[in-house]
């Protein structure tokens, strides 16, 4: 079995479109700039595709000094990194965690609010944030950004293909929002791994990823397709939840590249 990296993705704004990469730096938070931005509602609570499937239709471009977000109607919002508030000042909630986040200019918030018809703010998690990963699966000091809970997600092409037979149509891996997509292994082989080395970076494979409604949203159209959840329930149900892909915590830092071999340590 020769397993390798077939695609790399980051999602700079939580729940918005992906950025496709040839290589990614793995640092303190995991993949560079992954989920560093997040939309929140008036109460400061995270706002995602769970509430609004239209978020899947917003495209994101990452530049060295700025972020560009393109709405479904083609209108763009450019966000220079220099516009991020220097100090965190807004308490925001992502699941059960409260994090002090940096804010963006009012015109950025107004753009998102106008496009989505709801009062929203865009926030940024600062470099020194201490959002601890669940200690049931992590070590003290393991941190993550605005991810649902872990720094990175691994998924195999074969696992996605196995679901297609029951869904009845082709499934884009982007429904499942992986960071590292791999090829060369059997379906769900990643379930049995506990530690891997991807290129020059060592990862602990700590927990299967439990799935909500987001994989039922077609990233190409934003429409919900219940067949995907039916396939997950048929193949991947355990303890009244469904799981696909594996959450990772990096144990070293470095660069992961397209085509890198995946070594199963244990």
Angle between helices 157-167 and 226-236 (to 10 degrees): 110
49 Cβ neighbours under 8 A, 6+ residues apart: 15, 55, 56, 213, 214, 217
Mean pLDDT of 33-55: 97
- Between CA 87 and CA 76 the distance in angstroms is 26
Instruction: Report H helices in the chain.
Output: 106-116, 157-167, 226-236
**Percentage of the chain lying above the pLDDT 70 cut:** 100
CA angle (65, 179, 32) in 5-degree steps: 30
170 Cβ neighbours under 8 A, 6+ residues apart: 164
Mean pLDDT of 191-220: 96
Enter the pTM of the model.
0.96
pLDDT at residue 38 in the model? 98
pLDDT at residue 16 in the model? 98
**Please, what is the average pLDDT of the chain?**
96
Segment 158-182, tens digit of pLDDT: 999 999 989 999 999 999 999 999 9
Q: Dmax of the chain from CA atoms?
A: 52
- pLDDT exceeds cutoff 90 at 251: yes
Domains of the chain: 1-266 (2.40.33.20)
CB 180 within 8 A of CB 10: no
- Between CA 204 and CA 117 the distance in angstroms is 41
Segment 101-126, tens digit of pLDDT: 999 999 999 999 999 999 999 999 99
pLDDT band at 1 (very low <50, low <70, confident <90, very high): confident
């Amino acid at each position: 079995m020769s397993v390798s990296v077939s695609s790399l993705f980051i999602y700079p704004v939580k729940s918005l479109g992906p950025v496709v990469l040839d290589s990614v730096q793995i640092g303190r938070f995991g993949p560079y700039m992954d989920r560093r931005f997040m939309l929140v509602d008036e109460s400061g609570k995270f706002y995602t595709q769970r509430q609004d499937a239209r978020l899947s239709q917003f495209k994101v471009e990452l530049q060295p000094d700025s972020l560009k977000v393109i709405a479904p109607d083609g209108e763009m919002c450019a966000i220079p990194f220099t516009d991020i508030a220097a100090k965190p000042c807004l308490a925001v909630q992502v699941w059960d965690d409260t994090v002090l986040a940096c804010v963006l200019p009012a015109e950025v918030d107004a753009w998102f609010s106008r496009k989505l018809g709801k009062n929203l703010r865009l926030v940024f998690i600062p470099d020194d944030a201490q959002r601890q990963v669940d200690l049931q699966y992590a070590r003290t000091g393991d941190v993550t950004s605005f991810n649902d809970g872990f720094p990175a997600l691994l998924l195999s092409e074969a696992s996605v293909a196995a679901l297609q037979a029951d869904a009845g149509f082709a499934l884009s891996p982007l429904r499942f929002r992986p960071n590292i997509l791999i090829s060369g292994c059997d379906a769900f082989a990643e379930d049995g791994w506990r530690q891997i080395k991807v290129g020059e970076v060592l990862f602990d494979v700590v927990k299967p990823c439990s799935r909500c409604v987001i994989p039922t949203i077609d990233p190409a159209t934003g429409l919900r397709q219940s067949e995907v959840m039916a396939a997950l329930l048929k193949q991947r149900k355990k303890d009244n939840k469904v799981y696909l892909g594996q959450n990772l915590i990096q144990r070293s830092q470095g660069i992961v590249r397209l085509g890198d071999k995946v070594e199963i340590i244990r």
